[in-house]
């Protein structure tokens, strides 16, 4: 069957007459545009680009991440530096302003200083950009810990600051990436604002029926660079069955391996964790081999490799990452899964196209 693709807006048609009608009657619209700040390695933007959106500018303060963005998007303007240093000269109205604003200030794994941390204040800088550019839609992506931080007062404060603009109808929701064709249990908070004159209500994407598992992406994955265990660590991990963790070790080895944390209570199932082929991955982190947050291959006794990390985050195999091995792990681990971004972009497209 022949598929007709509109080069302008990326819509596809299975019948030639529908394609001709689309173009002749000017139903075709130019690609929806976006600017992304705090873009990282580009997982969020990649999902939007794959769905036909056009990036006007990608901003990131980390130089190695900027190298990665330039490598994969040579035609896009990349701004290296803080979002507050961008000199915007935008001729046309921007459809979307979005950003994976740094989340360490709100992370459950960190000290959770929130808005007292300069990284937390970047969200307020983002809100100032929203007011300056007045995009049709804005998107903020963050850790789910923002919802509970300071007993919900931090999120309430941020939403109140957006309300002061008197321009947007705002929705927020925690989404699990595994619900959107990502073989990973990864929960992220999305805050979406639609400009009131658009007069359309945003609806978060419904979970997909199929929930992918690691077997879907690891079974045929080519070998790539990756960290390796030292001999002692490898001997310990050999004792862990697929899907198991430290509790599967003999008691004496448990006590030796965990040390003081052996008697510290719950919350330790990430220690000496071997993943399972028949389940989604636990949330990928900035390294696959920290003692508290192990991500061991389900079958082979080694940490997940770079291409495996990338596939679990649903980057295509031809998406390349710059920097040292540890820098590449960090970029991939911090990224928004591409397929999750694509699902969000589809819901935004429905608002703007309709």
Residues designated as active site: 103
Number of residues in the chain: 354
Residues 298 and 303: their CA atoms lie apart, in Å, by 9
Sheet holding 168-176, edge to edge: 78-80, 54-60, 33-37, 96-99, 137-143, 187-195, 168-176
Q: Of 294, 306, 232, 251, whose CA–CA distance to 269 is shortest?
A: 294
Instruction: Return the bridge partners of 187, or none.
Output: 176
Residue 345: CB atoms within 10 A of its CB come to: 25
Question: Would you tell me the crossing angle of helices 63-72 and 325-334 to the nearest 10 degrees?
Answer: 80
DSSP H helical segments within 164-250, as ranges?
A: 215-218, 231-237
Q: What is the DSSP letter of 337?
A: P
Residue 94 φ then ψ, to 5°: -90, 135
C-alpha torsion 19→23→26→28, nearest 10:
70
Structural element, H or E, at residue 71: helix 63-72
């Amino acid at each position: 069957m022949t598929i007709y693709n509109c080069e302008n807006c990326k819509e596809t048609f299975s019948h030639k007459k529908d394609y001709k009608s689309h173009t002749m009657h000017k139903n075709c619209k130019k690609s929806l545009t976006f600017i992304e700040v705090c873009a990282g390695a580009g997982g969020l933007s990649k999902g939007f680009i794959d769905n036909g959106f056009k990036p006007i500018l990608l901003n990131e303060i980390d130089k190695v991440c900027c190298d990665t963005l330039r490598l994969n998007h040579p035609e896009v303007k990349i701004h290296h530096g803080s979002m507050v240093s961008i000199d915007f000269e935008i001729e046309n109205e921007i459809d979307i302003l979005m950003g994976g604003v740094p989340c360490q200030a709100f992370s459950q794994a960190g000290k959770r200083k929130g808005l007292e941390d300069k990284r937390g204040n970047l969200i307020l800088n983002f809100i100032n950009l929203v007011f300056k550019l007045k995009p049709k839609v804005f998107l903020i992506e963050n850790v789910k810990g923002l919802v509970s931080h300071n007993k919900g007062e931090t999120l309430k404060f941020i939403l109140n600051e957006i309300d002061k603009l008197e321009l947007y109808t705002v929705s927020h929701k925690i989404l699990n990436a595994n619900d959107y064709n990502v073989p990973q249990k990864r929960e992220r908070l999305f805050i979406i604002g639609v400009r009131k004159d658009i007069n359309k209500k945003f609806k978060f994407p419904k979970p997909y029926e199929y929930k992918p598992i690691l077997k879907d992406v690891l079974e045929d994955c080519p070998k790539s660079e990756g960290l390796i265990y030292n001999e002692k660590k490898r001997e310990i991990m050999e004792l862990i069955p697929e899907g198991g963790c430290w509790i599967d070790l003999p008691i004496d080895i448990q006590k030796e391996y965990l040390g003081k944390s052996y008697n510290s209570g719950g919350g330790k199932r990430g220690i000496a964790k071997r993943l399972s082929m028949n389940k989604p991955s636990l949330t990928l982190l900035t390294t696959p081999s920290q003692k508290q947050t192990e991500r061991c291959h389900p079958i082979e006794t080694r940490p997940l490799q770079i291409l495996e990390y990338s596939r679990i985050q649903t980057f295509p195999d031809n998406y390349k990452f710059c920097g040292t091995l540890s820098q590449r792990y960090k970029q991939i681990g911090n990224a928004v899964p591409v397929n999750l971004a694509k699902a969000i972009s589809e819901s935004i497209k429905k608002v703007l196209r309709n």
